[in-house]
Amino acid sequence: MKKTVAFSKNAVNVFFHILTRCNLKCSHCYINKKQHGKNNLPLKTIEDWLKIFASMGKEANIIFLGGEPTLHPNLPMAVTKAKSLGYTSITVDTNGYLFYNILSKVSPDIIDYFSFSLDGATRKTNDTIRGKGSFDTCIQGIKAAVSGGFSTSLIYTVSTQNIHELDSIPPLLKDLKVDRFFIQVIGIRGKSAESKADKLQVSRRDWLKIIPDAARRIARLGITVTYPKVFLDPKEPFECAGLVADNYFIFPNGRVYRCPLCEDYPLHSMEIKDNVLVNTPRINENDLFTLTIPEGCVMNKLFQPDNLIYHRNGRPKYRVACCMLKEEIRGLS
């Protein structure tokens, strides 16, 4: 059964970039080191920052991100600390290289998911996007994680370069014994913003024609599929996650965003100073969350205006959903 995953104030979701360094150079990478910093956070700092969000009095979920988080030698200790602080779920996003022999230093009772990024059903397509050798390495990493008893996810960032291979993904997922499949949309930030002429984003017509159907077919394998709503149906209300959810996107320089679309700009509404989460001076992203416009998402109009199409009278032809609004189809087998 398909459902729209609503925003919730009952949980804290922490997207923690513990470093920005990576061994790959993906064409759609959203990391902007000028805005996010270049340092590896010391373990003590990671632990202190984990405490901030674990102490908010709500169920807390954490995703460790980079760059490539397994490049951080202290990731196993950070994961263990998160578990001891009571985080409800712990995920590590990885490109599959699994540095520092990470699988041998953590256990399935501590990590809920290793979430692997693969952007093609074939070696040629994936490696064109992510780098030579990354397809085979990621496949090997998934197999090693499954063999070690870990639950796994696969993230597929859809673009004009790989949408044609979604039809070939189901047998690969089944063979790899992946538990969850995430379809992501290209965001115009980081490298994608720099190479906008490449037209990586999929058109609205192609998204609506291909993505929901592909998600249903994959779910029939018993795999839970999640993908962004992106475009609102005419009668659906627009909601901004910045107003109705507790999502925190943390970077090594201490910036804390509530909306990922703002990350290319110094619009962060919070920052961590001396291990204390503080509000930043106005104007920041919080001031934009409250604006109501016919296009739906204010951030999309500001930062990704090419996503929108207008009638001759200036009215938008459709509205764009908050980027955090997801559709989910539970495994149907």
Whole-angstrom Cα distance, residue 307 to residue 321? 11
Q: 133: which 2 tokens?
A: 């050798």
| Predicted local distance difference test score (pLDDT) of residue 189 | 82
Q: How far from 83 is each of 7, 62, 76, 171, CA to CA, in Å? A: 24, 10, 11, 34
pTM of the entire structure? 0.95
Does residue 225 contact residue 333 with C-beta atoms inside 8 Å? no
pLDDT tens per residue, range 81-140: 999 999 999 999 999 999 999 999 999 999 999 999 999 999 999 999 999 999 999 999
pLDDT tens per residue, range 49-68: 999 999 998 899 999 999 99
CB-count burial class (<10 Å; 0-12, 13-18, 19+) for 142: buried
Residue 230 CA, chain-centre distance (Å), reads 14
- Return left, alpha or beta for 165; rule: phi > 0 is left, psi -120 to 50 is alpha, else beta: alpha
pLDDT tens per residue, range 247-302: 999 999 999 999 999 999 999 999 999 999 999 999 999 999 999 999 999 999 99
Tell whether the model's pLDDT for residue 312 goes beyond 80.
yes
Residue 121 CA, chain-centre distance (Å), reads 20
Angle at 65 between CA 148 and CA 131, to 5 degrees: 80
Tell whether the model's pLDDT for residue 1 goes beyond 60.
no
Q: Using alpha carbons, select from 245, 268, 275, 252 the residue that is nearest to residue 16.
A: 252
Top CATH class of 2-237+322-329 equals: alpha beta
Q: Where are the domains of the chain?
A: 2-237+322-329
Does residue 204 contact residue 322 with C-beta atoms inside 8 Å? no
Contacts of residue 232, Cβ cutoff 8 Å, sequence gap at least 6:
238, 296, 318, 319, 320, 321
Whole-angstrom Cα distance, residue 144 to residue 241? 36
Q: At what angle do helices 169-176 and 134-147 cross, to 10 degrees?
A: 40
Three-class SS state of 48: helix
| Predicted local distance difference test score (pLDDT) of residue 331 | 80
Whole-angstrom Cα distance, residue 60 to residue 248? 11
